[in-house]
Structure 1
Amino acid sequence: MRRLFFASFVLSFTLRGNAAPVTSTDSSCLPVVDLGYELHQALSYNKTTQTYLFQNIRYAQPPVGDLRFRAPTHPKTNRTAIQTGSELRFCPQGVPPWQNDAFTPIGKYSSPVNAFTLQAWEESIKDGQPLPVDWNAGAQEDCLFLDVHVTKGAFEQASSKSKSCGDGGAPVLVWIHGGGFALGSKTGTPTPGYDPVGLFEHAAANSDEGLVFVGLNYRLGALGFMSGSEIEKNGDLNAGLLDQKFALQWVQDNIHLFGGFKERVTLMGESAGGGSVLFHMTANHGKGAGLFSQAIPQSPATIPTMQVVDDGYSQFLSYLNVSSLEEARAADTKAVIAANAAQIGAAPTTTYIFGPVIDGKYITGSPSNFIKDGAFDKSVKVMAGHNMFEGAFFFDPNVDTNDEFASWINRSFAGLRSKDVAHLATVLYPPQYDGSLGYIDMDTRQMKLWGEAVIDCNYYWIGQGVRDKGYAYEFGVSPGFHVQDLKYTFNDPTSPAPWPKAQDTLQEAIITFVQEGVPKFTNQKTFPHLGPHGTIVNVTSQGGVETTRNVNATRCEWWANLAL
């Protein structure tokens, strides 16, 4: 049976290296790094790629008890034992039923063995069966950990005085996973994924300076994105984004100990992770976080309506069977994990209940609106990516009439005014099914609206914002589902990517951008700047080809200007 896993808003294939790695776990051969607050030893050494893995490094205190629903805090000092990070660490999850039903169809049609047609796809979603996976088996609230993979050569240079003073080192690639801000982890757990071995292989082929790869966990669902007036009064909105920021600061403070250079940090994320990249670029009233110098937002997903809504808070208290924030902080961790899973497990189609909101402090507006107005960190070099069919599984097959379409818009984008819903349903996405507007029936009409509102227009605006010095690509391997590109970003030796040339093209672009600041593709050809014509590279099954960006600018203008 083909193994599947979620990675972003949905599932992708398991992700491993090109070849089965030969690893060493003899602790006498593995180095120890002194972080000041703790001593951490490498867990393993991959002889194939010559990389050390430092797993589950604590970057914040356990966010439990009184620290629930608050910003992360620095770890307590614990130097009594050397940490190895061998335990399982991922944050509590929640999986909406509509997404669970889509996992099997996504896996089926990501393979060229199964011919894709829109009719077959729509029917398979309607008949979808959930995966029999316990998404919280092994999850715990004490989950604020990160992994560091580093080449041996780069690590050995870390002991020199120049590197410890921050005067040089290997480039650093930091990965933020997706999952609708409701599921996922730094490694893909509870199923395998996000092994960067293929990226290391390309890095070694491109340069001898080495590479550092960092993957991080952040709080999800109610635990990371609880909003409401009570949280505003006695907690912190967007705790999950603040976790990410805290981890990025950890990289700035500590990555030289592993051989990385803090001034050469590239932040990469996919879906909710890609949206997170944009949030950090537009944070602090558009000034940015200032914690990375390059960015690769892949399918950057953000919900354009970002209002604080009290309903999610009161519903969570009900699921937890408590009546106050104080009682929620005092509740047993198993009950909290179960309440989060149950609440998200009842989410209406194409919703995740929780996500980033405007907090008036770190996040003060929508990324697309900020970027459109030029309010973002322009010092950051950008290579943006999206897939050609982002909205594929974001639709409700039970929607048939125009009134139902309007109701679906209203519940998918909470906070829209009635006049906005009417404009979307009658002007921007009217019931015109001749294909001229990008859809041919009610299902694809929803796909087009959702894909543009949440992903494609973010991709469009960040491209517009950096068009004279930035780069962009489209993942064009058929059918181009959301998350399909992750199998090509990473690797799986037990189930290789169906189109190796597409994988090589994407990985080469990522690594050359990380190492050189300029992405390259087939035969070391340099990416074009977007420029006034929106020139991009299309990653096809046969490699990369130059083409022109195809996004509806008129509709993206409306979404960016949405005033709530």
Structure 2
Amino acid sequence: MFGLKFIPIIASLASSAWAAPKNTISCSVTSPATTSTTSPLPTVDLGYVIQRATINETGSYYNFSNIRYGAPPTGHLRFAAPIPPTTTNRTVNDGQQGRICAQAAPYWYEIMEYFVAGSDAATLAYVEEELTAVEDALTIAGLAAPDPRTTEDCLFLDVIAPKNIFEAKKGAPVLVWIYGGGYTGGDKTSAGNPASLIARSQVDGGEGVVFVALNYRNGLFGWLSGSKFNEAGGVSNAGLYDQRLALEWVRTNIHLFGGDPSRVTVMGESAGAGSIMHQITAFGGARGPAPFSQAILQSPGFSPVSGNAQEDATLEALLTSAQSLISSNITSVAALRDLSFDELRGLNAITVARSYYSQFTYGPSVDGIFVPKLPGVLMLEGKFDKNVRAMVAHNSDEGIIFTSPFLQTEAELVANVKTIFPAASNATIDYWAQVAYPPIYDGSYGYTTITERAALFISEVSFTCNARYTDLAYGNETYSYYFTVPPGFHGEDVAYTFFNGDTTTSDDGLPVNATVAETMQRYITNFAMSKTGNPNGKGLPFFPKYQSNATVLVLGDTDFGSLTTDPVANSRCTWLQTAPYA
């Protein structure tokens, strides 16, 4: 969920291939092998570090890679809010030492891959049995070495600036990417190479954009929360504070790279877009505007965790796992803070691997400060930055890849909902089962089987209704598109956002529709470059605002450029926005 990348877990979990997801392409435009040496490469003095660029073979883009934006979140800063760099290093940094935060992925990914590929019940049962055996045998000592870039000192970002923009220093628009990955995996390079997206911004004399991608702490490193955690000196939702610090760094420093700090568009898919919802609603809007003026939210995703009880239980389960896997003496947050990075990284990997189907164990939650209430509720109450201009999107089948194929009866389905929402009252569960998502399989509610019913619920509660809340919050003045290229699964549109001309680059091996991809990139870059947040442009299908009739632009194979009514403009989303399960 939330921007996942598929990982073959049966083959790798026992030795644990907790490395970068497959099919990832560095967002760095250049590498040392392609760096030009015919002329001196530019440097930027940030005060605390001097950063040198690399350049691609044509000389079109400068890449300032692996720029530190935060002090190492280690020692007493582990589980704490990040702080700006505290040391000065005048040695020129060429950015060639890659940095990513600790990675993890749940074991149910493997079952999901077999499920969506059409495997029969016997095969799925066998896969589950094999994975359960692997899961039960996991030990930290048995984990393979991680991606060599992995480090706890991972608060770094990349800036990629077209050469003409960097040299002119006239203040070009800025596009900041926040990656998805279930809040447990991913990094600033995992979505793809932004070179084509940047080039698209300069087609037909376009102004162009400066591109930024940032790391934030994943898993337990960035997303532990709850009253017990806070009492022990931990800061809930540290990952959100990481993102905030990076965005403030952009606002302060991007002019040095040719960008305009007043024209920052933040963009993300899944957990990246869910993070953006939390940034828009940060502190309930009580601490001033967000450090960006525009936002592109693609399938904004997160599991809504509404209070301390669930997070306290997560912490207790983590400590129990630590006692089993590392030492019986680990009974507190202080003891977790004293563990080595390798121990904590391994503990994180194993606890995420054991996540309940469709879940990731760690992620944003209501903490009373950065997240005073769930983002949908804050938007409903008008407690957010109302001056952000937004473009919003969701896909046609967001939920199926998070839906357990083992849900076969009404009782199993209701038990699944209770597991996802442990604080929900019996009355809420009854309303869910009888009114909001009743067992009526004639298609009138959007499903004809138990699996489809469960998938629709996961889709709406974790993704599509979040898009709807954002559209409504901005008075229907948003631009909203509906991605329907088959199969329309969650995350399929990332290959389109970072399309590089290769029509075989989607995660599931399906071909990428070049027309849809190039159009999406033009909408994205037009929106970022427009001072009014308008994605329309010459030669593109007209993209209207959402309006009171919930109009969305369809981006699909057969209905490309058509308009339809948003399917999540429904009473279920209206009910879910009030957080009845809290």
Give TM-score, length-normalised by structure 2: 0.86
Cα distance in structure 2, aligned partners of 1:332 and 1:423: 47
**Which residue in the other structure is 2:167 paired with?**
156
Pairing 1:109-148 to 2, within 5 Å after superposition: 136-138=146-148, 139-148=150-159
Partner of 1:39: 50
Structure 2 residue identity aligned to 1:225: W
Which deviates more, 234-243 or 549-558? 549-558
The 4+ residue runs of structure 1 with deviation greater than 4 A are: 15-18, 20-23, 103-106, 119-135
Q: Does 1:354 align with 2:368?
A: no
What is the alpha-carbon distance in structure 1 between the residues aligned to residue 26 and residue 352 of structure 2? 33
Q: Work out whether 1:554 is the aligned partner of 2:571.
A: yes
Q: 1:529 to 1:397 in 2, by over 3 A?
A: same
Instruction: State the partner residue of 1:544.
Output: 561
Whether 1:283 aligns to 2:294 is no
Distance 2:514 2:123 in 1: 27
Asked if 2 retains the 8 angstrom alpha-carbon contact of 1:206 and 1:512, the reply is no
- Alignment pair present for 1:317 and 2:319: yes
Cα distance in structure 1, aligned partners of 2:571 and 2:72: 46
Task: Report the counterpart of residue 221 of structure 1 in structure 2.
Answer: 219
Partners of 2:62 and 2:499 in 1: CA distance: 18
Assess, with a 3 A threshold, how the Cα gap between structure 1 residues 335 and 17 changes in structure 2: closer, same or farther. Answer: closer
| Separation (CA, whole Å) in 2 of partners of 1:433 and 1:217 | 44
Cα deviation per residue 1:290-321 (whole Å; 9 max; x = unaligned)? 20000001000122332222122122223333
Tell whether the 8 Å contact from 2:178 to 2:188 is kept in structure 1 after alignment.
yes
CA–CA distance in structure 2, aligned partners of residues 501 and 173 of structure 1: 22
Counterpart CA distance in 2 for 1:264 and 1:533 is 30
Distance in 1 (alpha carbons) for counterparts of 2:418 and 2:262 = 43
Q: Deviations over 1:423-478 (max 9, x none)?
A: 21222112221211111111111100010011111111111222442110011101
SS in structure 2 of the partner of residue 519 of structure 1: coil
Is 2:535 aligned against 1:533? no
Report how far residue 337 of structure 1 moved. Answer: 0.1
Q: Distance in 2 between matches of 1:521 and 1:125?
A: 47
Partner of 1:475: 483
Deviation per CA, 1:374-397, whole angstroms, max 9, x where unpaired? 322111111101101111211111
- Gapped regions of structure 1 (runs ≥ 5): 1-5, 109-118, 159-167
Q: Structure 2: which amino acid aligns with 1:41?
A: R
Aligned to 1:420: 428
Partner of 2:255: 256
Q: How far off is 1:88 after superposition?
A: 2.5
Q: Which amino acid aligns with 1:180?
A: G
Q: How far, CA to CA, are the matches of 1:283 and 1:85 in structure 2?
A: 31
Q: CA 1:183–1:121 in 2, change beyond 3 Å: closer, same or farther? A: farther
Letter of the aligned partner of 2:216 in structure 1?
Y
Q: Which of 1, 4, 8 is 1:9 aligned to?
A: 4
47-56 or 237-246: which moved more? Answer: 47-56
Which one of 93, 103, 119 corresponds to residue 93 of structure 1? 103
Counterpart in the other structure of 1:169:
171
CA–CA distance in structure 2, aligned partners of residues 91 and 268 of structure 1: 20
Q: Which amino acid aligns with 1:213?
A: F
Number of residue pairs matched by the alignment = 533
Measured at CA, do residues 406 and 468 of structure 1 come closer, stay the same or move farther in structure 2, by a change above 3 Å?
closer
2:26 and 2:119 map into 1 onto residues whose CA distance is 32
Could you say if the C-alpha distance between residues 281 and 227 of structure 1 is closer, same or farther in structure 2, counting changes exceeding 3 Å?
A: same
Pick from 33, 36, 60: which aligns with 2:70? 60
- Following the alignment from structure 1 to structure 2, what is the Cα–Cα distance between the partners of residues 123 and 385? 36
Describe how 1:303-314 pairs up with structure 2 within 5 A: 303-308=303-308, 309-314=311-316
Q: Which moved more, 1:126-135 or 1:194-203?
A: 126-135
- Secondary structure at the aligned position of 2:62 is classed as strand
Q: Does 1:339 align with 2:347?
A: yes
Post-superposition shift, 1:362?
1.4
Return the alpha-carbon distance in structure 1 between the equivalents of residues 292 and 497 of structure 2. 20
How far residue 418 of structure 1 moved from its aligned partner, in angstroms, is 2.6
2:15 corresponding residue in structure 1: none
Cα pair distance change 1:373/1:38, threshold 3 Å: same
Q: TM-score, normalised by structure 1?
A: 0.88
Show structure 2 runs of 5+ residues with no match. Answer: 7-20, 135-142, 506-510
Read off the aligned partner of 1:173 and give its amino acid letter. Answer: L
Look up the equivalent residue of 2:252 and give its one-letter code.
D
In the alignment, which of 386, 402, 423 is matched to residue 378 of structure 1? 386
Listed one character per residue, the Cα deviations across residues 520-560 of structure 1 (whole Å, up to 9, x for unaligned) are 26813442111111112111126422222121520001111
CA 1:461/1:26 → structure 2, altered by over 3 Å: closer, same or farther?
Answer: same
Q: Which residue of 1 aligns with 2:209?
A: 211
Residue deviations 1:123-162, cap 9 Å, x none? 987777999996932322111111111100111123xxxx
Range with greater deviation from structure 2 (55-64 or 225-234): 225-234
- What root-mean-square deviation, in Å, do the aligned CA atoms of Structure 1 and Structure 2 show? 2.7
Deviations 1:175-228 (A, max 9, x none): 11111111111111xxxx421112112111044433111111101111101113
Aligned to 1:75: 85
Cα distance in 1, alignment partners of residues 230 and 357 from structure 2: 28
CA offsets per residue over residues 340-394 of structure 1, 9 Å max, x none? 0111111111111111111111111111122223322111111101101111211
Are residues 203 and 128 of structure 1, via their aligned partners in 2, closer, same or farther at CA, if it must alter by over 3 Å? farther
Indicate if the aligned counterparts of 1:16 and 1:196 stay in contact, CA closer than 8 A.
no
Structure 2 partner of 1:293: 293
2-structure distance, mates of 1:49, 1:403: 62
Distance 1:210 1:240 in 2: 30
Task: Please give the secondary structure, in 2, of the residue aligned with 1:344.
Answer: helix
**Mean alpha-carbon deviation: is it higher for 24-33 or for 479-488?**
24-33
Deviates more, 1:371-380 or 1:357-366: 371-380
> What percentage of aligned pairs have identical amino acids?
35
Question: Counterpart in 2 of 1:524?
Answer: 540
For 1:457 and 1:89, the matched residues in 2 are separated by 34
SS in 2 for 1:149: strand
Counterpart among 181, 184, 190 of residue 182 in structure 1: 184
CA distance in 1, matches of 2:552, 2:304: 25
* Letter in structure 2 aligned against 1:551: V
Alpha-carbon distance in structure 2 between the residues aligned to 1:66 and 1:411: 34
